[in-house]
A and B are shown apart, each in its own frame.
Chain A
Amino acid sequence: MPTDVERWKSEVYGTEIREHLFRFAEEGWESIPEDERDAWFERFKWWGLYHQRNGQESYFMLRIGTPNGRLEPGQLRVVGEVAKEYATGPGTNPLFGDAYADFTTRQSIQLHWIKLEDVPDIFEKLEANGLSAQQACGDSWRNIVGNPMAGDDATEVVDAWPVIRELNETFKGNDDHSNLPRKWKVSVTGTPDGSGQGDINDLALEPAYKEIGGERTVGFNVRVGGGLARNEPRFARDIDVWVAPEDAPAVAGGLSALFRDHGDRENRYNARIKFLVDEWGPEKLRRVLQEEYVDFELETAGEDVRDQYTYNAGGEGRNDLLGVHDQKDGSNFVGLNVLVGRMGADDVIELADLAEEYGSGAARLTQRQNVIVPDVPDEKLDAFLAADLLEHYSPDPSPFMRGSVACTGTEFCSLSIVETKNRQVRFARWLKQNVELPDGVDEFHVHLSGCTASCAQPQIADVSLRGMKTRKDGEPVEALDVGLGGGLGEEPQFARWVTQRVPVDEVPGAIANLLANFDDQREGDETFREFVRRHDDDELAELVEPEETSYDDPMMHNTKRTWYPYAEDDSLDGSPAPSLADGTPITSDD
């Protein structure tokens, strides 16, 4: 039996949702018929709007998809201005204030507390500036990711940007590909550092060389079926196909059509293509693709550059895109650390000013939730690096700041089990003050996800943290499962979950003890990942040693049972939602 979601999609879906959305915006939140709310909220996702969690009714998260994390000159300012004007609500975040933008692990932007009534004005402003929220959510092509400096990065072997742009233009809003069994996440990378993180996407195009007509030609190898969600992580699998850049849309479209026709529509939990690859194997996938979905002979895989991958790999070389790097045109790009990806709206606008003054006005977003200012000429570099704002958004931060990634969590997300972003900020600050990394270790990644959906990509970090609960002195408290030794690179590896349900206030102590044990027992200059690989799970569990320390966690108790964790009266009964366009609470009469 098709699910309700499938049925709603068959009734009204795709671009036509927009006119309904605008009508509801015009007539106000209460004009959505009560018995149609589930259906409309599901459909709104197609236009980038997610209804926020329980207790925050009538407020939406808005996701702006920026293909490859690319913001053209002027767009960062628009994001800051939209955030400042519209992304405010009844709750104030104690660390980030009233209006902020989140840069996500898929190189998109998320704004919170958006009122339905403001959506037409927001869309008008975004669209007038070449930005869009369309199809950033829902069962369709998601925002395409990659190295955000594609086309400019001096290390690049093939320019991925024209391919990404064409895929985006061809498949976004394309009726043949807008109703897939499940989301479809694509990564296209042209640099040899692995910074597109292809391995954790449904479809990955990675740079590779192939002899074509006697010429060594650069194009992409194709991998399929990666993803992290639901305790079922998979790395994308090699399907033995090389594709020339000009044929990439045919192959990528063939694969999404194959997924459309063969993915599991009966069971959403089994729908992602990773499960189809499990079932069929890469050979059958290749055969069906060849026979039914492309009309030219597929090449076999070319010679890849995976042995050069360093991004989030835990070893030497570029583990992220922070700091100053060369562009092809002789100028520089400067990666700045945005702790947990959240930036106050005023700071976004100030950064837009700096980008205009010292660069071209363009900006880029990375999969580690950071921001890049490109096109900074050598002669302006020192002045840019001396700007006050860069003290807070540093190109060279402490490893604990640099390594932090966190998802949305109980602040807004309905799937969450624990508070995340503010907690990760507290963790990072405490670690920076209290813990030294062993000699020669200057990268240490800690990723915190509020549930198994794994939006913060916890399984590919040195220390993976995932939301859980436990009891402490009989009382239920927020807790984290702790995993170790994950990362990407030539041979990617998922973290092993070695210690379960550590009360959140004991987690910084656990990391401190783990690092002390690593320092003590380290062999030569082995990396943390190598160290983890050499031990079995029980040995590792012993090295973790959770412990209370000077770290104090103010959000131990059930932040999900609040309407907003940081409100003075945080009880669900105290919620001001739903509210009218101006924020006045709507009181129900029952």
Chain B
Amino acid sequence: MSVSLRVLDDGAWVSVNDAREVSVSELWRLDAPAFCACDLPDFVVENVLAVGVDGRTIDAKVYGQCIACGETGVPGWIPVGRLSDGEFTDIDRERSVLAVRETAHD
């Protein structure tokens, strides 16, 4: 089954099969040791740069900043949802720890 993944409105949100699923301004708790000195960066999403699917995981590359220390940048690929039978399944991004991962996208 094919899935359409896009970043739209100048990086405002991620579209999965023509529905808005992930949006800027979300606040994520990251596990991203290389991003800043914080244990688990408290990260505001300011811009979505890219989205990809790797197996059943949908990952996004986003620009943003850690509001604890002020570090800005792109932490890497971050899992933002899952695919099952070509459908998007949300994960509770604002209440879980999202670990930056190595992926097949780049």
Contact = CB atoms under 8 A, between A and B. Distances in A.
Contacts of B65: 468
B25 A38 contact: no
B67 A414 contact: no
B18 A36 contact: yes
Contacts of B25: 410, 416-417, 469, 560
Interface string B20-43: 100111010000000000000010
A54 B13 contact: yes
Interface string B29-68: 0000000000000101011010000000000000001011
Most buried by B among A415, A453, A468, A560: A415
Closest 3 CB pairs of A and B: A414-B12, A37-B18, A560-B25
A269 B24 CA distance: 16
A98 to B, nearest CB: 26
Contacts of A414: 9, 12-13, 20, 23-24
A230 B11 CA distance: 11
B12 A417 contact: no
Nearest to A479: B67
Contact of A471 (B6, B10, B11, B67): B67
Given A230-B47, A414-B20, A415-B9, 19 more contacts: A34-B17, A38-B15, A42-B8, A54-B23, A269-B49, A414-B9, A414-B13, A414-B23, A415-B12, A415-B24, A416-B25, A452-B46, A453-B10, A469-B27, A470-B67, A471-B42, A471-B67, A471-B68, A479-B67
A54 B19 CA distance: 10
A35 B4 contact: yes
B19 to A, nearest CB: 8
Contacts of B70: 500-501
Interface in A210-244: 230
Contacts of A417: 24-25, 44, 46
A476 interface: yes
A539 interface: no
Interface residues of B, number: 26
Interface size range of chain A in the complex: 20 to 34
Contacts of B12: 53, 414-415
A4 interface: yes
A410 B18 CA distance: 22
A242 to B, nearest CB: 35
A560 B20 CA distance: 14
A273 interface: no
A134 B8 CA distance: 21
A438 B91 CA distance: 52
A451 B25 CA distance: 9
Nearest to A50: B9
Contacts of B24: 414-415, 417, 451
A380 interface: no
B46 A451 contact: yes
B10 A4 contact: no
Nearest to A37: B18
A287 interface: no
A328 interface: no
B20 A54 contact: yes
Contacts of B8: 38, 41-42
Contacts of B67: 468-471, 479, 501
A35 B5 CA distance: 11
Contacts of A453: 10
Q: Which of A417, A452, A476, A500 has the most CB of B within 10 A?
A: A417
A4 B12 CA distance: 15
Given A35-B18, A560-B23, A468 B13 contact: no
Contacts of A53: 12, 23
Contacts of B47: 230, 452
Interface string A260-276: 00000000110000000
A126 B6 CA distance: 34
A230 B42 CA distance: 21
A476 B27 contact: yes
Nearest to B17: A35
